[in-house]
Amino acid sequence: MAHDHKHDDKKHGHHHYVLPNSLAFKVFGALIFLTIITVWTAHFDFGAFNFPLAMFIATIKALLVCMIFMNLKNDVKENSVIFFTSFLFLAIFIVLTGSDIFFRGDVYVKGPLVAGASKSKFKKPWVSTAELVAHGKELFGQQCTSCHGAEGLGNGPAAAALVPPPRNFAQNAGWKNGYKPSQIFKTLKEGIKGSSMASFATLPAEDRWALAHYVVSINPAHAKDTTSDLAAVGVDPSKDGMGGESSSPTIPVSVAMAKLAVADINVAVASSVAKNPDAPVGSGAAYYQSKCVGCHGVSGEGALVRNMGVSPKAYLKTGSLSGVPFDRFKSVVTKGLPGDVMPGYGNLSNAQLQDLYNYVKSAR
Amino acid sequence: MSDAHHGHVVEHPGSKPHVVAHHFNDADHEFDASKQGMWVFMVTEVLMLGGLFVAYAIFRGLYPEMFKAAHAYLSVKMGATNTVVLLTSSLTMAMAVSATQRGERNKALGLLAATVALAGVFLVVKYFEYSHKIHSGLLPGGLFGTEQNAELIKNFPKAPLFFSLYFMMTGIHGLHVVIGMGLILWIMKRTSAKEFGPHFYTPVELVGFYWHFVDLVWIYLFPLLYLVG
Amino acid sequence: MGFILKFLTNSAYAFNGHLPIQATEVAKSWDDLWWFLVWLSVFFFILCVGGMIYFALKYKGKPGVKPTYITGNVPIEIVWTAVPFVLLMAIFVWGWVVYVDMTRPPTDAYEIRVVGKQWLWQFQYDDGRTTVNELYVPVNKPVKLTMTSTDVLHSFFVPNFRVKSDVVPGMFTNVWFEATVPGKHQVFCTEYCGTSHSLMLAKVIALNPQDWEAWKAGKKIPDQPNADPVQDQQIAKDVKPATSVVSTR
Amino acid sequence: MGHSATGGHNYINHEKGLWSWLSTLDHKRIGLMYLFSVLTFFLMGGFFATLLRIEHLTGGQTIMDANTYNRVFTYHGAVMVFLVIIPAIPGALGNFVLPMMLGAKDVAFPRLNLASYYIFMAGAAIALSALLFRGADSGWTFYTPYSTSTNTTVILFVLGAFVAGFASILTGLNFIITVHKLRAEGLTWSRLPLFIWAVYATSIVQVLATPVLAITLLLLIFERVAQIGIFDPALGGDAVLFQHFFWFYSHPAVYIMILPAMGVISELIPVFSRKPIFGYKAIALSSFGIALVAFVVWGHHMFVSGQSEFANFLFSIITMLVAVPTGVKVFSWIGTMYKGAIRFNAPMLYAFGFLEMFTIGGLTGVFCATLAVDVHITDTYFVVAHFHYVMVGGAIMALLGGIHYWFPKMTGRMYSEASAKIAFWLVLVGFNLTFFPQFIVGSQGMPRRYWSYLPEFTRLNQMSTVGSWVLALGLVWTAVYLWRDMRKGKPAGDNPWEAQTLEWQSPSPPPHDNFIKVPVVTDWPYEYRS
C-alpha cells in the first residue's frame, strides 16, 4: 500500500480534474467500436484463440472506462494500487482452485452405480421366456414381497405404512408408467417420484427384465411391447444386447430431482425406547443400539431418512407390524431385503433373535 | 444526525453550503477520504462478483463443449443492444459528473435522467430475455425443462449448469443495475435541492464510480456468456 | 480427596498417548515422522515458553531494576527466520515422501469397490458379492478401495492403517493399504454426514490366507479377534459394563 | 489529572439516555456496544460448548440425542466464529482504540461505522432466529451436499452469516481509510504502534476475503431454493468446489481472528517489560507477510477431500511458509522481555497465557500442514484441539488481555488485580485440561463431530469435560468482576500503565473528541528509556 503523506500539499487544490465532454465522446466512440469488433470476431472460429482475444478486447474496454471515466489516470496512485490488487487475488483464487480441479485426472462417476458386472446369460432379455419368468419370480421373492406381497397383490407387510400404497399387479387400474414390460423396466430403473417405489438401478438390466416379465405373468391380459416401446428404453430388438444398458452418462436428472422429498420424522413424537438400564448385556437392546440404530433411529422412529430411492422405512412404528409373526421377523433380519438397504445379519443365534424381537416389540 | 458542530463550511453561489465533517481538516481531505473509501468498496464488489467468474471459469474448463452448445440458446442481438445501452449510460453518467463539477445543474439533471432511462431500457431488454428463457424451460439446474430441451439434455446432461451460471451472473448484475438506478435517483433529488456544485460534488462522483463499475462488469459478462467462441 | 487422586492416577494411565497399532508398513514410517514432529515441538515449546518464564522471573520489575534500551538485533532475527524456514522445508519434504507412499496404490493391488451411503458402508468384491459394514481383506496383500457415495460426503478412516480419504458423491476417490496384523480393525466415518454420523462404523477384517480362501469360497469362518488386544484390556478396566451402550466389539 | 471517572466531561456523560447510545456516531461508544454484544454472544457460545462437553461425559447418549447434538455443535461453531471471534478485537477494541492511537477525532466514516454495528446485530438476529424453527445441523462449515439436502433451516443461519459478513467488510474499509487519511501530525508509517499495523493488515484481509464468503453463502441459498446445482453432484456440480469457495474466505478469516490478537500482544509486552519492542520492523512486516500468505494456503483444509495431488503439494509447501512470520513474532515478543523490568499485571498474565497456548497451537499447526501427518489427524479431535489452542489460546486470551489493558481508559476505573489473577489461573488450567487430552484422543483416531464415541476414548473425554467446567468457571468469574469493577472500581489515572501510545495522553475516560489538545507525535511509541 503506497502511502501518500500528509495532504497539506495543495497540489490539486480546489480545481479537481474535470472530464472534458470531447474526451468523453472519443472514449465512448472507442468503446462502441471495440464492442462491434468483439461481436464480429466471435463469428470466426480461431479455435483456442477466440477466448483470449475476447478477453483482451474486454480488458481494453474496461481499462478505458477505469482510466478515463473513473479518472484513475490522474488520480493519486494509491487508488489504482488498491483497485488492481483485487484482480490479483481473484487470479490467485482461480489458479489455485484450478490446480485442484483440472489436475484430478478421470475420477468422475460416469454411469449409474451398477452392481458387479456379471456376464449376461440372456441374448434378448426383453423377450419373455419361461426361464426369464422363473428367474424373475426368484428375484421377486427377494426384492419385492416386503411391499407388493408374495403374490404381488400390493399387500406386503410394509404396505400399510406406505402412501400411496404399493401397486396391485393383478388389476389393470392405477399403473403410473403403464404395464407393458418395457414400461415396468423403466419404473424399476428410475422408481416413481413422490412414492416410496425405490429405483433398482443397482440391479443389472437383465434382472430388471426378468422381474418385468414375472410381473406381467401375474396378469396375462397385459399388452405386449411394440418395437417403439422397446426403443423408448433404448433397446434395438433386431440386435442382441444387455437390454437397454446404454443409460445416460450420468445419474438421470429425473431421478436426481426425485431426491428432495425428505421425510422429517419428529423425534419428540416417537415414543421413547423402553429404557430399562438393567437389561443384561448382549440382550436385544444392546444389539439393537449397536447394529440397527443407524437406520431405524435411537428409539425406532427411523433416523432422518433421505428418499434417494432407498429409504430405511421406520417399520418398527407401523401398526400392521404388531401382528408380524416371529419367523417372518427372523427371515427379514437374517436374510435382509436385498435391493433395499436392509442387510442380513446371519450370525445371530435364535436366542439373540428372540431377545431382539421382544425388544423391538417393547420399543413401540 | 450529522455532527454539525464546528466543522469547516464550503460554499458556492446558488447552492447550499456543505459542512465538512468535524474529524476532517478540510473539504479536500474529506473528498480524498471518501473517494478512496469508494475504491476500497469497489475492491469488495470485484471480489464478490469475481466469485461467480471463478465458478464460470471452473465449469467452462471442465465442460467446454457444453458451454459452446448451451450458449447458442442466448440471443447475441439482445446482449449486444444491452452492451450499447450500458456504454451510453456510462457516457451520460460521466458527462453528468463533469456538468456538476462545472456547476451546470440543469444539464447534470438531464444527463442523470438519461442514465436512469437507459438503465430502464437495459432492464426491459433483460426482462424479455428472461421471459423467453423461462418460457422455453432453460432454467437453472433442478428446474430445467428436460422435456422441452430433450436433445440438449441428451448429449449435454450438464447443460442446466450453464443456465444456472447465466441466471446467477446476469441476475446479480441486474440487481446491481437496480441499486444503481436507486442511487442515481437519490443524487437527482439532491441535485435539484441545489446541494451540489463545484464546491461539493463527492456523492455524484462516487455514484458515478458505482455506475461505471456496473458497466465494467457487463463489459466482461457480455463476451463470456454470449460470445463463447 | 479420594476422588481426585483416583482421577489423576486414571488420567496418568490414559495419558500413555499411544497411537493406534501399526497395522501396515506405511504406518511405521508414518510414526517415525510423527514422533520426530512431537519431539521437535517439545523442544521449541521448552525453548519459547521456558525462555518466557525464565525472563519473566529473572527480570522481575523489582524497584531499582533498570530495563536496558534494546530495539532489535538483526543477526538474531535473521537466524530465527532462516532456521525455522529450513526446518519447515525439511519437514515438508519428509511429509511429501511418506504421503506418496501412503496414497499411490501399487498396480497389482486387489481392488474392492466401496459405496458410502447414509450411515453404512457397502463393500462390493470383484465376484459381485456385497457385504455391509464388514470389509474382508487378505493379510499381507495390497488392497485398493475405490470409493464413492450415493448421497452426501463421507470419509473412510482406518486409524490402524493411517489411511483416510473423503468419499465424494459423483467422484471416485481411493485409499490403499497392505494389512500386516490379522483381526478386526475399526473403521470410522470422519466427514460429517448427519444424524448417525457417529454410528457409521465398520470393520476391516484382515484374514490370514486359509481363512481368506475359505471366506472367498463362501464357507463360514471363525469369529476374528480384535486386532488391538491392548484396547480390550483398557476398556474392560476403564468402562463399567452397562454404562457405554454403544459398543461394537 | 483533573478528569476523574466520576466528575469531568467525557464520552460517557457527553449525552444521556439510551437513544444517545443507539444513535451515536462516536467510535468509542460504538466500540463499547460491539464489546457488550460480542461478550454476550461469547457467553452464549460458551453455554453451547459446555452442553457439548457434558454430552461427552459418556460414550452413548448422556443428555441429548444425535439430532440435538448436531444442532448444538453447529450453533457453537457458527456463533463463536461469525458473532464472536471475527468482530471481537477489530470491532470492539479496534473501534475504541484505533482512532485514539492515530490521534484522530473519529474513524473516517462514522455513519458507516454505526451502520456496520447494526448490520452485525441484524445478521446475528437472523442467524439466531433459526433456533426458533428447526435450527441448523450442517456444521458452521455448511458443506454441501449435506447442507443443501438437510431439511433444517440452514437458510436462516446462512443468511445471518451473509449479513454479518458485510459488517466485517465495512469495519475493514473504515479502518483502512482512517489509517491512510487521519493520522496525527508527525505520525509517519514507521512510528505507527504495532496494534495499528496488525489491525490495518486485518482490515485488508477483511476487505479482500469476506466478499467471497458473501457470494459463497448466496450460491448456497440459491442451491437450496432454486437447485442451481453448482455444488450438487446429482445436478452436475462439484461438492469439493464448495469447499474451495468456503475456505478461500474461511482461512483468511482465521487470520482476521489472530492478527489483531498479535497486535494487542505487541502492545502489552513492551509496556509491561518497560522496554522497547524487539524488532519493530520485523513484527510490522510479518503482519503483512501473514496477511498475504493467508490467501494462498486454504487448500490445507482439504488434503483428504479428493483434492488433486498437485494441489496438495502446492498448498502444503506454501502453508509451511506461514509458520515463519508467526515464529518471528513469537521469538521477538520473548526477546522483548530480555533485560526488561517485568510487571505482573493482568494484561501481562494474559500475554503469558497467549504465548504458552499460541506456541502449542502454532507447533501443532505444523503437524496439520505436513501432508502425511494430516491424512491421519484431519477431521479428528487433534484438529479440534489445534484450532481451539490457536483461536481461544490466541484470540480470546489477547481479547481478555486487551480488555484488562484498556479497561481504565474505557471506564476510568481500575479492575481488581486479585480477582483478575484468580480468573487467569482458572482459565489457563481449565483450557489446557480441556484441550490437551483432545490432542491425544485425536491422534488415537477419535473423529470430530461425533455424538457417541467408542469406549476406549472414554477416559480422555471425561478429563476434557472436567477441564471445560474449570474454564467456564474462570470466564464467568471474569465477566462478574469486570461488570462489578466497571461501576465500583477505584478511579484509575489517565495513564496507569505509563504507556507511550497516543490514547494514554488523553484523560480516562476520554472526552467526546478524544483529545483536549490535538497531539503531535515527535518519536517512536516505544521510547522506554530508563
| Count of CB atoms situated within 10 Å of the CB of C79 | 12
- For chain B, say whether A6 makes contact (Cβ under 8 Å): no
Residue A258 above 50 pLDDT? Answer: no
Q: Say which range, A270-274, C3-7, C219-223, D330-334, has the weakest mean pLDDT.
A: A270-274
Phi and psi at residue C171, in whole multiples of 5°?
-150, 145
Q: Do residues C217 and C168 share a domain?
A: yes
Count CB-CB contacts under 10 A for residue B20. Answer: 18
Judged by CB atoms closer than 8 Å, whether chains meet at B46 and A90 is answered as yes
Determine the pLDDT at residue B110: 96
All structural domains of chain D = 28-505 (1.20.210.10)
By mean pLDDT, which of B108-112, D405-409, D491-495 is the weakest? D491-495
pLDDT band at A349; cut points 50, 70, 90: confident
Most A CBs within 10 Å, among D230, D235, D249, to test the A interface: D235
Which residue in D65, D236, D309 is closest to A298 by CB distance? Answer: D65
pLDDT reading at D331 higher than 60: yes
Task: Please check whether residues C87 and C129 belong to one and the same domain.
Answer: no
Q: Which other chains touch chain C, taking contact as 3+ CB pairs less than 8 Å apart?
A: A, D
Class of residue D2 by CB neighbours under 10 A (exposed 0-12, middle 13-18, buried 19+): exposed
Domain boundaries, chain A: 21-101, 130-260, 284-363
User: In this structure, is residue C120 part of a structural domain?
Assistant: yes
Specify whether C37 is located in the same domain as C142. Answer: no
Within-domain flag for C44: yes
Q: Quick one: pLDDT at residue A223?
A: 67
Closest chain C residue to A304 measured between Cα atoms? C195
Q: Bigger pLDDT: A212 or A66?
A: A66
- CB D45 within 8 Å of CB D84: yes
pLDDT band at A343 (very low <50, low <70, confident <90, very high): low
Confidence tier at C29 by pLDDT (50, 70, 90) = very high
Mean pLDDT, range A21-47, rounded to an integer: 91
Residue contacts between A and C (CB atoms, under 8 Å): 70
Q: Is the pLDDT of residue A336 over 70?
A: no
CATH 1.10.760.10 assigned to domain A284-363? The reply is yes
Asked if residue C91 has pLDDT above 80, the reply is yes
Determine the pLDDT at residue A344: 61
Q: Do chains B and C touch (3 or more CB pairs under 8 A)?
A: no
Confidence of residue A269 (pLDDT cuts 50, 70, 90): very low
Residue A351: per-residue pLDDT: 76
What's the pLDDT score for residue B115?
96
Asked if the Cβ–Cβ distance from D212 to B58 is below 8 Å, we say no
Q: Where are the domains of chain B?
A: 16-226
Contact D305, C166 (CB under 8 A): yes
Contacts with C10 from chain D: Cβ below 8 Å: 459
Nearest CB among A6, A93, A303 relative to D248 is that of A93
Per-residue confidence at A300, pLDDT binned at 50, 70, 90?
A: low
Query: What gap in Å lies between CA C174 and CA A184, rounded to an integer?
Result: 36
3-state secondary structure (DSSP) of residue D192: coil
Please report which confidence band the pLDDT of residue A9 belongs to, taking 50, 70 and 90 as the band edges.
very low
- Backbone torsions φ then ψ of C135, nearest 5 degrees: -105, 110
Average pLDDT over residues D514-525: 87
Higher per-residue confidence, C236 vs A28: A28
- Asked if D229 lies within 8 A of B164 by C-beta distance, the reply is yes
pLDDT category at A167 given cuts 50, 70, 90 is: confident
Q: How crowded is the C-beta side of B169, counted as CA atoms within 13 Å? A: 26
Q: Which residue has the higher pLDDT, D51 or C151?
A: D51
* pLDDT score, position A306: 34
What percent of chain A lies above the pLDDT cut of 70?
52
pLDDT at D145 over 80: yes
How high is the pLDDT of residue C239? 60
Q: Same domain for C215 and C117?
A: yes
Residue where a domain terminates, one of C64, C87, C103: C103
Q: Mean pLDDT across the stretch D442-455?
A: 93
Q: Measuring CA to CA, which residue among D453, D456, D400 is closest to residue D426?
A: D400
What residue in B sits closest to A256 (Cα-Cα)? B142
Whether A138 has a pLDDT exceeding 80, the answer reads no
Lowest-pLDDT range of A235-239, C226-230, D118-122? A235-239
CA angle B109/B114/B118 to nearest 5° reads 150
At A278 the pLDDT is: 39
Top-level class of domain B16-226:
mainly alpha
B185 pLDDT tier (thresholds 50, 70, 90): very high
Q: What is the mean pLDDT of residues B95-117?
A: 94
Cis preceding linkage at A343, omega within 30: no
How much is the ipTM here? Answer: 0.91
Confidence at residue C105, expressed as pLDDT on a 0 to 100 scale: 92
Across the interface, which of A50, A54, A257 has its CB nearest the CB of B142?
Answer: A257
CB B91 within 8 A of CB A25: yes
Helices D95-102 and D154-181 sit at what angle, rounded to 10 degrees? 10
Domain with residue C185: its CATH number is 2.60.40.420
pLDDT recorded at residue A91: 95
D293 or A227: whose pLDDT is higher? D293
Q: Is D181 on the interface with B (CB under 8 A)?
A: yes
Query: How many C-beta atoms lie closer than 10 Å to residue A336's C-beta?
Result: 17
DSSP letter, residue C65: P
Q: What is the model's pLDDT at position A117?
A: 43
Half-sphere exposure of D85 (CA within 13 A, CB side): 28
Say yes or no to pLDDT of D473 above 90: yes
Bridge-partner residues for C148, per DSSP?
C115
Share of chain D above pLDDT 70, in %: 98
Average confidence score pLDDT of chain B? 91
Q: Determine D/B contact with 3+ CB pairs under 8 A as the test.
A: yes
Please give the pLDDT value at position A134. 79
- Inter-chain CB pairs, A–D, below 8 Å: 79
Total structural domains within chain C: 2
Query: In the structure, how many helices (H) and strands (E) does chain A have?
Result: 13, 0
3-state secondary structure (DSSP) of residue C60: strand
Residue numbers of the domain that contains C207: 110-223
Q: What is the mean pLDDT of residues D219-227?
A: 91
Residue C237 belongs to a domain: no
Contact residues, chain A, for D302 at CB < 8 Å = 100
Which of B43, B219, B229 minimises the CB distance to A83?
A: B43
Q: Looking at the predicted structure, is the pLDDT value of residue D206 above 90?
A: yes
Helix (H) or strand (E) holding C243: none
Q: CATH no. for residue C36?
A: 1.10.287.90
Backbone angles phi, psi at A334, to 5 degrees: -80, -45
Number of C-beta neighbours around residue D125 at 10 A: 12
The closest CB to that of B47, out of A78, A82, A86, belongs to A86
Percent of chain B's residues with pLDDT above 70: 97
- On whether any CB of chain A is under 8 Å from the CB of C23, the answer is no
- Going by pLDDT thresholds of 50, 70 and 90, the confidence category of residue A262 is very low
| Nearest CB neighbour to C49, from listed D145, D344, D356 | D356
Q: Which residue has the higher pLDDT, C180 or A226?
A: C180
Could D212 and A93 be called an inter-chain contact, meaning their C-beta atoms sit closer than 8 Å?
Answer: yes
Mean pLDDT of chain D: 93
CA distance A154 to A143: 13
User: Which amino acid makes up residue D140?
Assistant: W
Which CATH class, in words, describes the domain spanning A130-260? mainly alpha
* Closest-CA distance of chain B to residue A62, Å: 6
The pLDDT tens digits for D53-110 are: 999 999 888 899 888 999 999 999 999 999 999 999 999 999 999 999 999 999 999 9
Task: Say whether both C117 and C193 belong to one domain.
Answer: yes
pLDDT band at A323 (very low <50, low <70, confident <90, very high): low
8 A C-beta contact, residue D100 and residue D514 = yes
Confidence of residue C225 (pLDDT cuts 50, 70, 90): confident
Residues recorded for chain C: 249
- Is the predicted pLDDT of residue B190 greater than 90, yes or no? yes
